[in-house]
Chains A and B, each alone.
Chain A
Amino acid sequence: MVEKMYKYRLFLPQDSDAVRGLVKAAFPNFLEGDYWDWKHFNNPQFDPSIVVVSEKDGEIVGCSHWLKGNIKIGSDLVVGSFLTCDLAVKPEQRGRGIARELLLQRRTRETFRSRGIVVNYDFADPRLAKRLYTPLLGYTKVGVAVKKYAKVLNWKRLIDFVSNEDAGRILLRRFPKLRELNLSICFKSKSAPPLTLRFMNGKIEATENEPSDVHILVEADLRVLVSVFEAKHVMTQLLKAVFQRKIKIKGKFLKLYEVTQNFGLLKTVLRVISTPEPDFFSHAQTPKYKVRTFEDGDEIEIVRLFDKAYADYGGFVPRDPKYWLWCCLQRPGVVREGIFVVVDENDNSVVGYAVAGKWGNIWELCYDPAHDVETVVGMLLGETTRYLESMEAASVSFNAVEEDSALLKVCNKFGFEALISPRMYLSILDTRGVVALLADGKREELIRYFDEAILVKLKDVPAWVKDTLFVRIDRNGVYVDENVHPYTILVKTDFTTFSSLLAGVLTPSAAVAQSKLEVEPFRKTSTAIKLLSYLQFDAKWFFPMSDYG
């Protein structure tokens, strides 16, 4: 039985509240997020058949809108257009390809043709355009004759930011050098009132004046200043701007040196000018962590945390509280005194947990990466090791995600060694089902790039697998069958190779190079390789020890 985690469908009127909320939360900086009704629902051009939503367990987790209109693209040429806008995905569901799927859902020839659409355009963050829109949808940058003019009337946002006690506390935690810093800098710009920042006694003060006693005076255009502090290599960018005389800096050498030593702090403060850090205040209250043993009811938050941490990985076995209680608490060798839970005392939320069995296994160790990994994991490893030592265990071991460098750092600190984990093996029982599922996930790309009928002939197949597999891709869709039909490409391989290809442990080109896969006619080899590379598992696999049994 196939279950898709996310469902994609057209917008329905009953989705209004959820979509409105989603857009408001995703775009708080534009009209304070309160614009969905005006822009879409009450818009005379609003067409629900070009608004797509993504649903998980009945909850709306993403949305994408198109607004139909006309746009002039040549001196005498006006064409039908779609403006892509308000593409939003819930923060906890991001990074799972939902935006990608949302963008592709209605992107068909019929949609465009039936509505007379010739052009699709979008206003996007260049980084997002580079990462998502261009590779996925082929967007190109438009030559513009638009210039944006801006003038800063006051520094209220920045003054509010530095005078906020929580922000001050967080800055102090992030930049401990702030305690000893005694520095004042005045920024002068044509398009803004003067701004003076004073760093003294661990505090920051911002004022809109130009005192005579400042240590450093910086004169520059606001645009130049922002671009310097936004740059990846601040120092290089700053030197470049100084040499080009775009920035003038006056002050004593020692104080200038102090500035270079505190670029991180300055960068964080000045970033408020261009973009307020949306995540900055999410940890406004400094977390106070406390470790305790398991209490009844923790399983609900524990399951939520586990799902959040591992749902993106292949090999993920979804849990519910009942299953988790059986899998961990009722497991032989596990008692509630061996289950450690780290909570953030500000809101009592569970931010990490570890389940230790008396023989030395940590069956599950999981943490919320949004928190201080070193502290949370440190607490968990410290407590479990102490507990297992008291249980006379000979060793402590647990499984973790290979690429988790933050965890690796803590493990090194606690004297853990990384070893190769026990091997997991898989066997494909329903080749047609797996191929159909993979093809369904890549349907749009397959239809866009291929118009082929491929027959796979398998050697050395086990009794429960049919030795032929047929995949036809054309503009009508993807069809997968186990019977033989007329084909344009014939692929000959053995069952183990084909399983390895599907599982993503072998690339089609490597299979061809190793003579494990033959393509007829030979000239279609590169097409077959390209096509097969779409039909592979694309998630990395992780399994905690609790999934062994």
Chain B
Amino acid sequence: MTETTGSICRAFTKKDERPVKALVETSFRDFLSGKYWAWKYKFNPNFDPALVGVAEKDGRVVGCNHWLLRNLKISNQAEVQAILGADIAVEPKFRGQGIAKSLLLYMRSLPVMSNRQAMISYMFADPNLSRNLYEPVAGYIPAPSATVSYVKILKWKELEKRIGIMNHEIRNDAEKFDRLPKSELTILFRLLNTPQLLLSLSKKGIEIYEAGSKKAKVTVTSDFTTLARIKKSEHRMYHLLAALVTRNLKIRGSLVSLFRFYRNLWLIEDVFSQRLF
């Protein structure tokens, strides 16, 4: 048992099942709607409750970290026992108090470590979190990878959700509302292999229309990879210009419309800033 910042890290017990399940569900809503704890751990043929740690504060479970022991091939002809570090979660209001760090260190004090049962620990993580937490605390480094993800967008469902949230924010933010275009600006996005997307920007906020239902004043033609590259870049404008020069991105419209498009680029950037699928 370890104690830091008023919280205690200890081994998981049966009575922790409900709070841990709830914590994982709220923390990882984007993955299988967060409803996976029972399947992933309780019903997992390799699950060992001794490899789950919880952080407790004032008698309440506020954090958890899970380890799953697996065989893993690390090099040609070499297979070792490894630990998949998964579902490290801290309740939002207790974040920033070093609880995740305590949990990571607590897990490394488990008998599985002193017995040298596993040679490697691995995890799938957000690069920022890895840089700021997992690497300095637990010595994680990027694994060599030959993996690529293939994606095809069927619907702009996530974007619709994002626009709903944005419209709500704009309505409550006078400054943002003032920056909205006075007259309607319609933009058609033709991204290769995705459904066409028609956005309307006006004082009503941002609206999505079915392609063809309105005449677009600006047409943006590109592909998803280019868009993702611009989105991820720290120097978006530079990458946007580079994409225009290399003709990976084409923006068409009258000079006035293009100027208006440029004026409202902040809004478009905001629309595409979050996850798209």
Contacts and interface: CB of A to CB of B under 8 A. Distances in A.
A411 B193 CA distance: 11
Contacts of B151: 395-397, 416-417, 419
Contacts of B138: 427, 462
A97 interface: yes
Contacts of A311: 73
A400 B150 contact: yes
A314 B72 CA distance: 8
A441 B78 contact: yes
A145 interface: no
Interface in A272-329: 311-318, 322-323, 326
A495 interface: yes
B183 interface: no
B179 interface: no
B135 to A, nearest CB: 7
Given A330-B43, A332-B39, A417-B223, A430 B116 contact: yes
Interface in A93-113: 96-97, 101
Contacts, number: 288
A314 B81 contact: no
Given A388-B154, A425-B134, A539 B76 contact: yes
A323 B46 CA distance: 8
Interface stretch (B10-18, B92-100, B123-131, B163-171): B123-131
A125 interface: no
Given A400-B147, A428-B119, A548-B124, A415 B141 contact: no
Contacts of B228: 419
A464 B127 CA distance: 24
Contacts of A403: 146
Contacts of A430: 116, 118-120
Given A4-B77, A395-B151, A333 B32 contact: yes
Interface stretch (A151-159, A499-507, A520-528): A499-507
B145 interface: yes
B40 interface: yes
A419 B148 contact: yes
Given A330-B39, A423-B127, A538-B76, A429 B148 contact: no
Given A332-B36, A424-B123, A430-B119, A401 B71 contact: no
Contacts of A542: 145-147
Given A317-B72, A415-B193, A433-B119, A540 B144 contact: yes
Interface string A175-197: 00000000000000000000000
A360 interface: yes
A311 B119 CA distance: 19
B244 interface: no
A423 B225 contact: no
B144 A541 contact: yes
A417 B152 CA distance: 6
7 contacts: A3-B81, A311-B73, A314-B75, A322-B45, A397-B151, A425-B140, A437-B74
Contact of B153 (A359, A394, A537): A394
Nearest to A495: B139
A483 to B, nearest CB: 16
B146 A326 contact: no
Nearest to B70: A317
A117 interface: no
Interface in B134-193: 134-135, 137-158, 192-193
Contact of A332 (B32, B45, B71, B125): B32
A85 interface: no
Contacts of B72: 315-317
A524 to B, nearest CB: 25
A238 interface: no
A335 to B, nearest CB: 13
Nearest to B112: A429
Given A322-B45, A539-B76, A429 B154 contact: no
Contacts of A101: 77
Contacts of A500: 141
Nearest to A1: B81
B45 A420 contact: no
B246 interface: no
Given A417-B150, A543-B145, 14 more contacts: A3-B79, A315-B145, A322-B45, A395-B155, A401-B148, A416-B193, A417-B152, A417-B225, A423-B145, A426-B120, A434-B120, A441-B77, A496-B141, A549-B31
B205 to A, nearest CB: 22
B75 A429 contact: no
Contact of A428 (B71, B120, B224): B120
Interface in A474-510: 495-496, 499-500, 503-505
A360 B158 CA distance: 12
A538 B155 CA distance: 40
A64 interface: no
A537 to B, nearest CB: 4
B263 interface: no
A328 B137 CA distance: 33
Nearest to A397: B151
B25 to A, nearest CB: 11
A189 to B, nearest CB: 47
A5 B137 CA distance: 33
